[in-house]
Chains A and B, each alone.
Chain A
């Protein structure tokens, strides 16, 4: 009995001492600034910066391998906080951005076959380049919604709907979409071209009733030289004043206006809610 107690006492003391000595002898000095930088990051571990989580990004910023505005989620506030910690000047002056969808297809876009495969836009893209007649539009399978680390995208009537209150412009959905129809735009931008179809007018219209037909009416209507039609109508967000002249003249309603995060001239319209919205996602009714 005594033997057992003694042996375990020795074992415990030995292992304890070993760990204590190891933790002192092998102590790795880490700069407290590194912790401050990591703590200044949002901590969402979304991976939008390209590093494995916020700790990886913080380490890269600390070692000077990444610019201090590497975090697209935290934006200017985070960059300023980090610049204070590291004593580096913050030279970014970017407007807060938000993800938007460059497609208003859904039921407006014709389908060429019925897709019954797995719910993944990537797989749909591989089956004859998708089920839509339009080669540039949204499949409505929600790969962006699944990819969103902030639960800001919801599929509504076959189109992704971005909740601007939750969107942090991390850009994960932009990378996830195989059709390249997600775009990060300045948050105060209200007028948007909701089409990505670069086909000629007639071809585009034959696949989708709300396609951009390159008629250039918007270009003529714009007083600020802010919209130009090349392969598709593109708004210069720096020049655009959100006057809405182009919205009124667009014959196919490819250009639409958002107000308070809602489409004004609408094909679909949903109340947005702040908070987790888990109840509305799970509610069947």
Chain B
């Protein structure tokens, strides 16, 4: 290719729009731009319609719930609110206290296990479709295409000298990127402060300082991580990309180039691959899928869309690049899902964490009792020889009604509760610390530590509410 034609090619490709069907010649002309990502040049991926493209948008649209979330109301308050100041976490009708944090831990465990099982079944499906980095990059590059044009036009703009037009486009783009960052950060913050109160505070320039600081990492993070670094983030910063290899096996279906069909690649009807580089051109991380599985591939399957469109054009069957497992490619028998130990073990683990969560949520209760035994002294001998132990009872009323309760003892023979006949009142949402003294006659103190159970009863009906076990300490 001579120098003159090369320039002509570039000019011609400037006019090519992403969603218009291309002729084969145009494909090859454009292919000079489709380069594998080596980190040196910015990736400007081509956008093409297709099955996986549509799926990607559908999954991405789930993030609308993230932005709408804070505005959902429930029983007069915000449906999802992590009220750090009052240490209460509202999720619709449910109120979680810091004590219930283990349920959150199980929920996180479930998410991680889901990630593992998805990876074992279909590779980095999460990375390619649902990861916020991928989704935000997708939206940012969509905006970029609307403002700067096709990949070729963007490349041209990048290398063009700074003039008023470039400044306007780049400045406008940066502003929109920052605004999305602000929306992301403010939305995140509004899961911790009631959203209407938050906006009121923003517009009236009120404190606390936290609400001004909290969105900053998101603004900086989205601008640097999504606006600038993009796929470099996946390459160099994301730990998940590093551990994916150990979560996949020969049965995992991943976007794969069918080498037997494709090779030898070339323009003149050798293998099925016509070497148009379109799969590289559409790749948001700039990898060449024909090299096989690699760390840069986030498995968004956009190359499958691209390749299928080309196969259709050259009248060959679709699926030169397709979701397939290594075993399928090697012609080995494919093991069904339910016979794969990895999938079975992950499923069992997920089932157990889910059971834990369900058990936790159904056994939250509205009253919690913690018993703290006095440490200094552990016990006291009284004038009549009996042994006295002191406890601090922390009664937590997680309900929304005031509580009136009585305390009772069990499991400890001879135990006398001193001065606790009167009913105790616990206001809703409060923790009441209560000093409790227990006597046991010396003759009945047979061991240095004996079991004792504190019960909380309804003061009016005497109905059992909750119990906590502790120890009664004596000289033994």
| Chains A and B come from one and the same complex | no
